[in-house]
Structure formats: C-alpha cells, structure tokens
Amino acid sequence: MNPFYRCVLLLCLISLLTTSVFRTRQASAALPTDSSLTFEISDKPQNSVVAGFDFSNLDRNASACQDFNRFANGGWMDKNPVPGAYSVWGRFTQLDEQNISVLHDILEGLLNKKTLAPGNEQKIADFYGSCMDEQKIEAEGIKPLESELQRIASISDLLSLEDEIASLHAHRIPAVFGFGANQDAKDSSQIIAQLVQGGLGLPDRDYYASDEAKNKATRDEYSKHVARTFELMGDTPQEAAAESNTVMKIETKLAENSSTRIQRRNPEANYHPMTKIMLLQMTPDFDWGRYFRNIGLPEIAKVNVGQPDFFKAADKILKDTPIADWKVYLRWHLVNAASNTLSSKFVQESFNFNGKYLQGTTEMLPRWKRCVASTDRALGEALGQIYVAKTFTPQAKARAREMVANLVTALKDDLTTLNWMSNDTRQKAIAKLEAYNRKIGYPDKWRDYEALQISRGAYYNNFVSAGEFEFRRNLGKIGKPVDRTEWGMSPPTVNAYYNPQFNEIVFPAGILQPPFYDPKADEAFNYGGIGAVIGHEMTHGFDDSGARYDANGNLVMWWSPDDYKKFTDRTNCVVQQFDSFEVEPGLHQKGQLVVGESVADLGGLTVAYAAYQKSLAGKPRPKDINGFTPEQRFFLGWAQVWAENIRPEAARLRNATDPHPLAKFRVNGPLSNMPQFAAAYACKEGDAMVRPPDKRCQIW
C-alpha cells in the first residue's frame, strides 16, 4: 500500500511506513431560538427512527451550540459503552462488525463446502481453516519458528547478520529498516525501490525519546513484556531480563535517529533518490549488493532513501553493536511478529501488552474474528470478490458514482470562485480535480493469487507464505510502469482514501452502507454522511501534503509562491485550532500531526454542504423531520458518523501515533468554523461551537 495514502479513518495499514488512514454559503433557514437550545421542539409524538437516523441517539439536554458532538451523539454514547474486547466502539466499529459477520458466513460456508473450486476458494478455505485449528496450533507451540531461530543462532559475523535481516524482510518483518517498492515521487509513471526507517517494537519513536512520565512507564512495561516473551521461548528469568535490556538499547539507538511522524508528513523530506553507488558511499559497512541479491533483486538502478540520517546512523549501529546483541534483537522481532500465529501463551502475552496495556481492552476478540481479519489481510481481493457479489449491487455502485460526480462539481464550483487563489493556480487546481481517478466499490481487475502457496498445515507457515507472496509481488513492480488499476484496500474495508501519486479517490464497498449512505434515507443525512466522506477524500488532494502533488501525481510545486503562502496560512489556522483541543488534562492534540485530516474534514463538509444545497435547486424544499430542518439534518448526518466511545489508553495511543483527530474533535472542530452550521442551529458569537471571526479557519 502506498505510504502517502490519506484515509478517512484511523491508521492506514501499510508495510513500510506508518502514515495516515478518512477512516461558503449561508444556510437558507435557521430556528428562531437562542444558544441554549436543547431541541425539545414539540410535545407531539414523533418517530424515534427514520431511515438514516435514530433520534434517540440525541442528548436533548445538551446544547447544540456548546457541544454538538454531545448533542448529536450523547444518547448513542450512553447506550453503547466500549465492549471488553475493544479499545474504541463507534459507528465505524459497528459497521465493521457487520461486514465481519458477512465474511464469517462466507468463510464458514467454504469450510463446510464438500467440493471447493481450485484456486482462490481452496486457498481462502485453507488459510482460514489453518487459523481456526486451535488444537494443531496449541500442539506445535513455538515449533514453527525453529528453523528461523536456528538460522539466527548461527549468525557469526556482519555479513551473516545482514543475510538474516534480508530473510526477515522477505517475510515482511522490517527489522532495523524497511524496504519495498513505491512510485517515484517526481516521476509517478515509474516504480522504484524505497528504503525507510524502522526496527522499533513500540508504536512510535517518541516512546523511546521522551522523558514524559507516561512514556517512561510504557517503556518499562514494554521491557517487561519483551522479557516475559523470552521466558515463554524457554529462557531463564535472568537471561530474559538481560535480553530485554539488549533489545531496548538497540531500539532506543534506532529511535533516537528516526524522524518524527510530523517530519515525515513533508513529502519532500522523504525524497532522496540515490544510485546503488551513492547508497554504498552513504552506508559503507552494509553490503547492499548482497542484500539485494538475497531478496531477489540483483540489479537496482535507483533507490529512494526516505530518511538518510537514519541509515547513516544505522550503518554505524550495525557495525558497533556486538553480533550477540543483534541475535537477541532479531529473535525478539521474529517472535514479536509471529506471536499471534502461535500457541495461546504467546497470543495472550502479546494481547496483555498491545491490547490491555496500550489500548485498555479487557478481553481478547474471539478467535473467529481474528481469523476473519487475518484472512482478509492475506487474501483480501479473493475474499472481497465473493463479498461484493453478496452485498454490493450494480445499482449501489451507480448511486455512489453519481454522488461522487456531484461532489466533484461542487468542489470545481468552489475553486472557480475562490477569492484568495490566482487564476493560474486555479486552473491547475481544477485540472488536478478533473483528472481524479474515481474508484468505487471494488477493483475492475482482481488480484492474481496463483503464486501464493497455502495449505491446511501450520497457520504460521501460511502467514509467512502470505507475507512472502506480498513481498515478491511488491518487489516485482520495480522498474515497471505503474498499474493504476491497483487498489490499496480490500472491498469489505470500512474506510476510504486518497492517493496523491495516483491522484485517485477510492471508496470500498464496505463503507458505502448506513450510517454513511442509506438509499432509503433523506438526502440531507446522506450528503452529511457519505457526501462529506467523499468530499474529505477529494480535498485531501489539496491538504498540506496532497497539495504538493500535481494532476499526474508528481511531487512538484504547481502553486504560485503567493498562493501557497496564503494556503499555508489557512492550514496553520487549523493546526492552531487542533493544538488547543485537550485529549485529557495536560495532553493536547498535535495540530501538525492531524492537520491533513482536519483540513480534509473541513473541506469535505464545505463541499458536501454546497453540493447538497445545489441538489435542492428547482425542487420543493424538503420538509422538517422531527422538528429538524434539512440543513440541521445535514450536520446530524456528519456527526452520527463519529459517534464513538474510546478508552483513555487508546485515546493517548492515537494522540501519539494517529494523523486523525479523536472523533469528538472531528465533529466539533470543523463545524465550529462553518457559518452554515451556526446559521442552521441559531448559534451566536461567544458559543463554543462558533469560533470568533478572527480565529475562524476557512480554506474552501
């Protein structure tokens, strides 16, 4: 998956880089009430549920003008505490659960099918079946790792250490650093090799570098987790404690030389193309020729080095650290990556740290849910092909295409009249918008899994086979033209993304369902839901990072200097706004980390609102529903998407690592910048949901 995807929800899952994943016109009407409005609108009986919205999800004791998230979602939040197996519970999670149930039925049906079709059906059933075979997994314990552990034990010098790093990379375990294929940022028609920083066990380099008390506590817990895992592998407590210290020392050195997530948001900072000779000169102690041969790439013409300073430091760390210490480090990263495929004691230990400690969950997901997710990761398009045949009709695809077209038109209209943008930049922006490739539902060309070897044997072996297949498939692109038909998410995924190097907006079938889109619902709810999601992805092409890519997906400055300064001044307003939001006392959102997603939320809502207003032209004005005007329903449609409860541990983790703001800020943040919202709910200056004119952020 491309490291520059911009997603609507949570973190996009990619193999090499940890970067972001979604998950003005005046309103025409307003209610004649004051800012303390609680919407006890009528004493007459009203329907609690209409298509697209459940009005019992409101908190009518809250003020829409003080905390719209609480007003719109408070009832839902009170009725939906976070289940024990989850760190967060929201409308995304609920829809994801629905899709998982559909996939579960498909997979169980294949397991029980007497005669499976050779090819994808057989592979899907065998992969899922091997994951579900608890008795076999339990009996094998750590045996599936024996050959790789023996290979690590036999490392005797720097060259054999480098050989093992290559072997782990072929299994998609980015020990020390990550390697893969990606588009050339300045020649988007070509695929080149790419090197990126890596090698850490904690979620972010700041966990190692920061002296803040919570980070120190996390380091201590992580060290204990590493030691306990070594004990499960058969080491004594004394040996395990010493080995954990060794892992921490190496990872801390790597972290201290790693770029921050905010630094990596600048695409120019990640673009350093080199020839192999230049690479060898930069890191003289690492045998790159041997490494490339080991991973099956004898010739490399060009390599993009994402973070050169990291590789200079890593080269020295590799040379100066004793081989015995590296063997400990590699043992840890092997078992850490494999833990969830092994016997229950390893699964439980992994969950205790990654689930309980880091995210606050109190119980593990049932095995079938974990196996459904694993099968989707390994064979996403094979499984997705069956999923869309059951769930996504041609009519649904046509309706989604129509709404995307309406949103593109609305953004074009906005660009045409934008008063702060010069005509030259405007024409280039419109050309970029019109060049968007629009992908809806599922790929036109399905992925070929013929080379993937899957059996009903050990689950770990299938896990490794799937990783090797994906690694080879990825490397096979190097030196070849870009395949712009490729998708970065499987069809059942409840998410969406914009890829600046493909200049595309992508909406999997999984998200084109209620509460985002309901064909039976009032259009105000749909435009506030899926319409704003579509607008969000579209405006990612013009966020702080996406704006640096042109219509062809090349990293090039196409803005005039004056226009770009005006643009960055406006995005800096969003940075400052989100810096002010408190996750918990003393802990604030990182505005520079979440600026891309927050700019896309604000832009998406602005464009979707304009598109909804345009859709009403020439038609009778829609009636109020349960006392809510069409404009008010639009904003309720947006808010209900983000109805969510989250554990404090998970909120802290996301604040440290996720380029998406917390859900409550995704509701209140952009709406407080919109005069359309204030007009719809009769909010006035001084209300929390109305930012003062001199602090109001407006881009589109």
* Residue 205 belongs to domain with CATH number: 1.10.1380.10
Residue 205 lies in a domain: yes
Query: What are the distances in angstroms from CA 614 to CA 17, 419, 610?
Result: 40, 20, 6
**CA–CA distance from 514 to each of 99, 637, 638, 642 (Å)?**
12, 10, 12, 13
Distance CA 598, CA 578 (A): 8
Report the b/e string of 108-135 with b at 16+ CB within 10 A: eebeeeeeeeeebeebbbbbbbbbbbee
Q: Which tokens belong to 170?
A: 């072929």
Identify the pLDDT of residue 48.
Answer: 78
Structure tokens at 181: 């294929």
Residues 6+ apart with CB under 8 A from 509: 384, 387, 388, 391, 392, 396, 441, 442, 491, 492
Q: Where are the beta strands (DSSP E) in 219-375?
A: 273-274, 303-305
Tell me if 126 is assigned to some domain. no
**The pLDDT of residue 49:** 81
* pLDDT recorded at residue 700: 85
In a domain, 88, yes or no: no
Does residue 563 belong to any structural domain of this protein?
Answer: no
Any catalytic annotation for residue 157?
no
Q: Where are the alpha helices (DSSP H) in 545-629?
A: 561-579, 591-615
The domain of 263 spans 174-322
**3-state DSSP call for residue 70?**
helix
Residues 522, 622: contact at Cβ < 8 Å?
yes
Q: What is the pLDDT of residues 83-121, one digit of tens each?
A: 999 999 999 999 999 999 999 999 999 999 989 989 999
- Of 600, 607, 369, 397, give the one whose Cα is nearest residue 511: 397
Token pair of 87 as six digits:
């760190």
Model pLDDT, residue 10: 40
pLDDT of residue 52: 87
Beta-strand runs (E) in 301-340: 303-305
Q: Is residue 248 part of a domain?
A: yes
Read off the tokens for 305: 């080095």
pLDDT for res 19: 29
pLDDT 10s digits, 623-677: 999 999 999 999 999 999 999 999 999 999 999 999 999 999 999 999 999 999 9
The verdict on residue 314 lying in a domain is yes
In this structure, the number of other CB atoms found within 10 A of the CB of residue 483 comes to 10
Whether 189 maps to a domain, the answer reads yes
Predicted TM-score of the model (pTM):
0.92
537 counts as catalytic: yes
Question: Residue 529 is which amino acid?
Answer: G
Q: Which of 537, 543, 649, 658 is catalytic?
A: 537
> With a cut of 50, which residues of the chain have pLDDT below it?
1-5, 9-21, 24-45
With respect to residue 76, please indicate whether it lies within any of the assigned structural domains: no
From the candidates 601, 644, 649, 658, which is the catalytic residue?
601
Angle at 670 between CA 669 and CA 676, to 5 degrees: 130
How many domains does the chain divide into?
A: 1
